[in-house]
C-alpha cells in the first residue's frame, strides 16, 4: 500500500472513530441511570476493556516492556486525556464538553510545529478557522459563557491539551507500534480513572455494588467491544500515520455526532446556531483530506498528459 493510500485509509478510520465516540455519552449516562454514577461509570469504561484485552496484553507483554518509557508516556498522556474528556461528559453539558475538548486541533498544530517542526500550511489554518468559528457558534459566544466554568468544562479544556501532547508524542516516536500504544492507553487510562475517584468532586459518589455492575454487563460488554475498543485502535494507528493536527481535525466528526444525539436524546439546545456550527466543523473535518485528494488527482492527470506528449 502506498503512503498516500495508507494516509487516506487512516483519515477514514479516524473520522469514523470520531462518529462512534460521538455516541460515547449515551452509555455513560445509561450507567448513571443504572446506579453506576459519576466517575465510577468512567472507571468501568476503562477497567472493563482492559480486562477484555488482557489476553492480548499478556501476549504483548514483552513488546510493552521493550517499548520503554517512550511508549508508556504516550499511554499515560492519552489515558489521562480521554479520562478527563469522559469526566467532562459526566460533569458538564455534552455540547460544552465537546467544545472545550475540541480546541485540540489548535494545540496539536502548534505543538507539532514546535516539537517536530511540522509546517503549518494555509489549508491547515483554514480548517482550524472553520472549526473554531463552528465551535464559537455552538457556544453562543456573544451570549457569554454562562458564568464561571464548571469542573467538567475545565476537564474538557485540559483533556484537549493533554491529548495534543499524546498525539505529538506518538507521531514523533518512529519506533512506536499502534497496537502497543492502544494497550498502554487502556492500562494507564484505567489507572487515571481510578485516580479520578480520589478527587473531592468524584470521591463524593459512592462506588457501585456488584449487583449494579452485574446488571449492566449484558449490554455494556457489546458496547465496549463495538464502540470503545475498535475506535481506540483506529485512533492510535492514525496517530502514528497522520499529522497531529490532521488527526485532531478529523476526529472532530465526534462533535457532529455528539451534538445531534444530545439534542435528540438529552434535550440539549439545537437550533440554527448549532446547525451552522456542526456544518462548519464537519466542513473543517473534510476540507484538508478533500483538498489533498483533489491535488493528487490533478498531479496524476498532469503526469499522464506529460507522458502522452511525443
How is 278-299 classified by DSSP, letter by letter?
HHHHHHHHHHHHHHHHHHHHHH
Helices (H), 24-121: 25-33, 39-52, 54-59, 61-66, 68-91, 94-101, 104-116
Instruction: Check whether 7 has a pLDDT greater than 50.
Output: yes
Range of the domain at 170: 3-308
248's grid cell? 485532531
The per-type count for the chain, helices as H runs and strands as E runs, is 17, 0
Q: Which three cell numbers stand for residue 306?
A: 506529460
CB 206 within 8 A of CB 95: no
pLDDT at 120: 76
Helices (H), 173-209: 178-196, 200-203
**pTM of the predicted protein model:** 0.78
Q: How confident is the model at residue 24 (pLDDT cuts 50, 70, 90)?
A: confident
Contact indicator for 176, 71 with CB cutoff of 8 Å: yes
Query: Which pLDDT band, with edges at 50, 70 and 90, does 145 fall under?
Result: very low
Is residue 91 within 8 Å of 183, Cβ to Cβ?
Answer: no
Q: Rounded mean pLDDT of the chain?
A: 80
pLDDT value of position 255: 73
158-175 pLDDT, tens digit each: 998 898 888 888 888 777
pLDDT in tens, 256-272: 788 777 777 767 666 77
What's the number of domains the chain is made of? 1
Q: Which pLDDT band holds residue 136 (cuts at 50, 70, 90)?
A: confident
Mean pLDDT check: name the lowest of 12-21, 137-146, 266-275: 137-146
pLDDT tens for 59-100 read 999 989 888 888 999 999 999 998 998 888 888 888 778 777
pLDDT tops 50 at residue 301: yes
Q: How confident is the model at residue 3 (pLDDT cuts 50, 70, 90)?
A: low
Task: Round to whole Å and give the CA distance between 244 and 57.
Answer: 26
Q: Which residue has the cell 454562562?
A: 146
The count of other CB atoms within 10 Å of the CB of residue 256 is 20
Taking residue 250's Cβ as centre, other Cβ atoms within 10 Å add up to: 28
Task: Report residue 139's pLDDT band, with 50, 70 and 90 as the boundaries.
Answer: low
194-203: list long-range contacts, CB under 8 Å, 24+ apart: 194/43, 194/47, 196/39, 196/42, 196/43, 196/83, 196/87, 197/39, 197/40, 197/43, 199/39, 201/91, 201/151, 202/38, 202/39, 202/87
Query: In angstroms, rounded to a whole number, what is the distance separating the alpha carbons of residues 74 and 174?
Result: 13
Task: List all residues 6 or more positions away from 179 whose beta carbon is below 8 Å from its beta carbon.
Answer: 56, 60, 233, 236
Between 308 and 212, whose confidence is greater? 212
Contact between residue 90 and residue 41 where contact means Cβ atoms under 8 Å apart: yes
* Buried residues in 204-219 as b, exposed as e (16+ CB within 10 A): ebeebeeebbeebeee
Classify the C-alpha dihedral 202-27-59-14 as positive or negative. negative
Question: Grid coordinates standing for 245?
Answer: 493536527
The Cα 239–Cα 104 span in angstroms is 14
Please check whether residue 92 is in contact with residue 156, taking contact to mean a CB–CB distance below 8 angstroms.
yes
Amino acid at each position: 500500500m502506498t503512503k498516500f493510500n495508507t494516509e487516506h485509509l487512516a483519515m477514514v478510520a479516524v473520522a469514523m472513530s470520531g462518529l462512534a465516540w460521538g455516541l460515547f455519552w449515551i452509555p455513560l449516562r445509561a450507567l448513571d441511570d443504572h446506579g453506576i454514577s459519576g466517575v465510577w461509570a468512567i472507571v468501568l469504561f476503562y477497567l472493563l476493556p482492559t480486562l477484555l484485552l488482557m489476553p492480548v496484553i499478556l501476549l504483548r507483554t514483552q513488546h510493552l516492556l521493550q517499548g520503554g518509557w517512550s511508549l508508556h508516556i504516550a499511554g499515560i498522556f492519552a489515558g489521562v486525556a480521554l479520562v478527563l474528556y469522559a469526566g467532562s461528559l459526566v460533569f458538564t453539558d455534552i455540547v460544552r464538553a465537546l467544545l472545550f475538548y475540541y480546541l485540540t486541533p489548535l494545540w496539536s498544530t502548534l505543538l507539532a510545529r514546535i516539537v517536530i517542526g511540522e509546517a503549518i500550511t494555509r489549508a491547515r489554518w483554514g480548517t482550524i478557522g472553520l472549526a473554531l468559528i463552528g465551535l464559537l457558534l455552538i457556544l453562543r459566544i456573544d451570549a457569554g459563557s454562562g458564568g464561571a466554568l464548571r469542573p467538567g468544562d475545565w476537564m474538557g479544556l485540559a483533556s484537549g491539551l493533554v491529548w495534543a501532547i499524546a498525539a505529538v508524542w506518538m507521531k514523533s516516536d518512529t519506533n512506536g507500534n499502534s497496537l502497543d500504544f492502544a494497550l498502554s492507553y487502556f492500562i494507564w487510562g484505567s489507572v487515571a480513572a481510578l485516580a479520578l475517584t480520589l478527587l473531592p468532586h468524584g470521591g463524593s459518589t459512592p462506588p457501585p455494588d456488584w449487583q449494579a455492575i452485574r446488571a449492566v454487563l449484558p449490554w455494556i460488554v457489546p458496547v465496549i467491544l463495538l464502540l470503545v475498543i475498535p475506535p481506540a485502535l483506529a485512533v492510535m494507528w492514525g496517530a502514528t500515520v497522520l499529522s497531529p493536527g490532521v488527526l485532531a481535525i478529523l476526529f472532530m466528526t465526534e462533535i457532529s455526532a455528539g451534538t445531534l444525539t444530545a439534542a435528540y436524546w438529552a434535550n440539549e439546545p439545537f437550533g440554527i446556531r448549532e446547525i451552522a456550527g456542526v456544518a462548519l466543523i464537519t466542513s473543517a473535518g473534510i476540507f484538508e483530506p478533500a483538498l489533498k485528494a483533489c491535488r493528487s488527482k490533478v498531479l496524476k492527470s498532469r503526469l499522464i498528459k506529460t507522458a502522452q506528449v511525443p
